A and B are shown apart, each in its own frame.
Chain A
Amino acid sequence: MSRMNFRGLHALVLHRADRDGRTLCEQLQRLGLSTQLLAPDAVIDPAGAQVCFFDVEAGHDGLFPWPRGAAPIPIVALIGSETRARLEWMLSHEPHACITKPIRSSGVYSALVIADHAFARGRRLEKDLADLNDRVRSRRLVFDALLRLMTTFGVDEAAGYRMLRTASQQRRLSIEQVSALVVGGEAPPSIDNRLAARPPRPCDSSSSEPGPDRVREPASPTIHKECIQWLFTHTRGTGEPNPPSACAASAGGGPASPIN
């Protein structure tokens, strides 16, 4: 549900103090916003403002202190002359809504609602895009982790992936984070603590109990193995099949994983 009430927000209005500028400010105040009418050549500080209206006709390249298209708050274009040059300049700043002049009391509320919605949508899409980019970049990492699991535990690709997924669910980490732990052999402090607190298991007797300090050291082969063991042997009884025991898998090397 998009925002419909703008009470208490602060608006920057980059426009001359003429009839249009005043009408816009009055209507914004009716809608519960505070307003600041700034001359188009003023220095803009978006801090403390939640929306910015700007006069397209008086606009110039140095108007905004942010890069084109990267406005930190919703921006609404106030269009006077509908010439191509001005509209091109306006579009280069990616406004979230526009109002054609002369400004009237009607239309301002709709523009606010649309700008707020478009800005939120843009933010959401940017975040989704960044997440997808991260995923694409980490595919190599997941692949490395998968290979390592396949060779360490002697399982096939599907079973290896299921191990990653199960660990991801149980540790509440992303697949990529689990993969990083597998490949890098380094555990974050939260895991260190659990690692330190875990009860001794038979397969631990061969090495000394790894404390948090030891785990944060550059991954030695032993600690690396400890991490992998921890990731795949501690289960929380979620009803999911347990991943193969690291000890059993490394000792026996058999494919008899219970998740197969």
Chain B
Amino acid sequence: MLDRKRWQMPLGVLFSTTGPYSIIGTAMYQGTMLAIEEIGADPSFDFGFEPVVMNPDGRLDAYRELCEAMIREHEVVHVVGCYTSSSRKELIPLLEKRDALLWYPSHYEGFECSPNVIYTGASPNQHVVPLAQYLVEAFGPRIYCVGSNYIWPWECNRVFREIVQKNDGEIVHERYAPMGDTDFGKIIQEIVAARPNVVFSTLIGESCYAFCRAYGALREAEPSLGLAQVPVASCTLSEPELVAIGGDAALGHLTSSVYLQTVDTPENQRFVASFRHKFGPQAVTSADAEASYLAVHLLARALRDAGETSVEAVRSAVGAVGFAAPQGPVRVDPTNNHCYLTPRIGRSVEGAMFDVVRTAGEPIRPDPYLVWFDPSQPVLARGAALPQARQGGQT
């Protein structure tokens, strides 16, 4: 098959594989490249992808510049890329002006729906809401919130507050650290004094790793403080980050994620095996790698059905294609360009893995604006099928 001359479509690959969030950027890059390889080897496609790889190095102003170069110099129409919301928002005016499509493979805080973005990561109802509900139910209503000081933690904590208050619970403190801060002595002292049931962390990158290390060290040094009964929960913590935290400090944390490496599906077994084959036996998969991987697979299927590369044709076609992803069946909701995904809660164990402790019964419809959000309806208990939006008038 490989000797057959296929048409190669240029595909932009725009991840920060160096810089402050390089661990996630690398996972996304790897998931993308694995999928590109798979499409290239799959006889059911008569085209392949020619990756146009650029690395913004985590610098916000580099994203737009590099994406523009991809479009102008390499005739790129489709780009897989971005981790932070700020980088995505940086690209949207350009994408809309040049009519390009961004395949955005990260969970995020929602409240956006650009026609030039396909969102393959979790919407807030698929990870923030189920985690808050689970924590209150399984650990108790007193939650200590610590996060990096930017938009994602603010919005996550707002959702948490709403859910916790509906359950007669309490956010005991809500603390924010500057981005990149690694000194958490005072915050950890405050946690010890406040005795919450659980710590909800929206710290990202190095701040997250430093916090987990400091928390783990105190947990081990002073067992009488009872920190072993107060887990750290987040919507971001992933397998490669457990590697980065290292040692016992990486154990016992909770994460809310639509994908965990331990998900037991034949598709995931293949995914993990291929990933290790390509990137080495120590490589771990993650939600970010999987969302990037499934983005390329959805794009390939939409392109095959559309028969052309234009944004409009692909966007029209993508709503009708499905993909048996490692996490389970995934499809795009054509009313909002976000994906039906399967929420899960994991608990970190030895070997940089999460045990799956809770799973939704079926893929959950994306609700990026939390329109259908009902704090009293648990997402994980029943795999909720959301009511269809009313359609009216002459639209």
Tell me, yes or no, whether A binds B. Answer: yes
Docked pose: A5 CA to B389 CA in angstroms? 13
Flag A182-198 by CB within 8 Å of B: 1 or 0 each: 00000000000000000
Contact A37 B96, CB 8 Å, known A29-B335, A31-B371, A105-B115: no
Q: Which residues of B contact A13 (CB under 8 A)?
A: 393
Residues A32 and B389 in contact, CB atoms below 8 Å apart: yes
Residues B114 and A25 in contact, CB atoms below 8 Å apart: no
Query: Is A30 positioned at the interface, with any CB of B under 8 Å from its CB?
Result: yes
Q: Which residues of A contact B392 (CB under 8 A)?
A: 10, 34-36
A100 to chain B, nearest CB (A): 15
Contact A30 B372, CB 8 Å, known A37-B393, A105-B115: no
Residues A30 and B335 in contact, CB atoms below 8 Å apart: yes
Residues A26 and B395 in contact, CB atoms below 8 Å apart: yes
Residues A30 and B112 in contact, CB atoms below 8 Å apart: no
Quick one: closest A residue to B389, CB to CB? A29
Query: Is A86 positioned at the interface, with any CB of B under 8 Å from its CB?
Result: no
B: contact size bracket: 20 to 34
Q: Which residues of A contact B394 (CB under 8 A)?
A: 17, 36-38
Query: Is B69 positioned at the interface, with any CB of A under 8 Å from its CB?
Result: no
Interfacial residues of chain A within 5-27, with CB under 8 A of chain B in the complex: 5-8, 10, 13, 17, 22, 25-27
Quick one: closest B residue to A102, CB to CB? B96
Consensus secondary structure, chain A interface: mixed
Contact A35 B395, CB 8 Å, known A7-B372, A105-B113: yes
Residues A34 and B113 in contact, CB atoms below 8 Å apart: no
Could you tell me how many residues of chain A have their Cβ less than 8 Å away from some Cβ of chain B?
Answer: 24
Q: Which residues of B contact A29 (CB under 8 A)?
A: 335, 389-391, 395
Interfacial residues of chain B within 110-157, with CB under 8 A of chain A in the complex: 111-115
Residues B393 and A109 in contact, CB atoms below 8 Å apart: no
Docked pose: A26 CA to B114 CA in angstroms? 12
Docked pose: A49 CA to B330 CA in angstroms? 36
Query: Is B336 positioned at the interface, with any CB of A under 8 Å from its CB?
Result: yes
A37 to chain B, nearest CB (A): 5
Docked pose: A27 CA to B373 CA in angstroms? 17
Residues B371 and A104 in contact, CB atoms below 8 Å apart: no
Docked pose: A5 CA to B368 CA in angstroms? 12
Contact A31 B369, CB 8 Å, known A105-B113, A105-B115: yes
Residues A5 and B371 in contact, CB atoms below 8 Å apart: yes
Contact of A5 among B113, B336, B370, B391 (CB under 8 A): B370
Q: Which residues of B contact A32 (CB under 8 A)?
A: 369, 371-372, 389
Docked pose: A105 CA to B335 CA in angstroms? 12
Flag B98-111 by CB within 8 Å of A: 1 or 0 each: 00000000000001
Residues A34 and B114 in contact, CB atoms below 8 Å apart: no
Contact A34 B335, CB 8 Å, known A7-B371, A104-B96, A109-B369: no
Q: Which residues of B contact A7 (CB under 8 A)?
A: 371-372
Residues A34 and B369 in contact, CB atoms below 8 Å apart: no
Q: Which residues of A contact B371 (CB under 8 A)?
A: 5-7, 30-32
Docked pose: A26 CA to B92 CA in angstroms? 19
Interfacial residues of chain B within 343-377, with CB under 8 A of chain A in the complex: 368-373
Docked pose: A109 CA to B370 CA in angstroms? 12
Flag A81-125 by CB within 8 Å of B: 1 or 0 each: 000000000000000000000001110010000000000000000
Quick one: closest A residue to B393, CB to CB? A36
Docked pose: A239 CA to B266 CA in angstroms? 77
B155 to chain A, nearest CB (A): 12
Residues B372 and A25 in contact, CB atoms below 8 Å apart: no
- The chain A residues found within 8 Å of chain B, CB to CB, are 5-8, 10, 13, 17, 22, 25-27, 29-32, 34-38, 104-106, 109
Of the A-B pairs whose beta carbons lie under 8 Å apart in the complex, a sample of 18, sorted by A's number, is: A5-B373, A10-B392, A22-B395, A25-B395, A26-B335, A29-B390, A30-B113, A30-B336, A30-B368, A30-B371, A31-B369, A32-B369, A32-B371, A34-B390, A36-B392, A36-B393, A106-B114, A109-B111
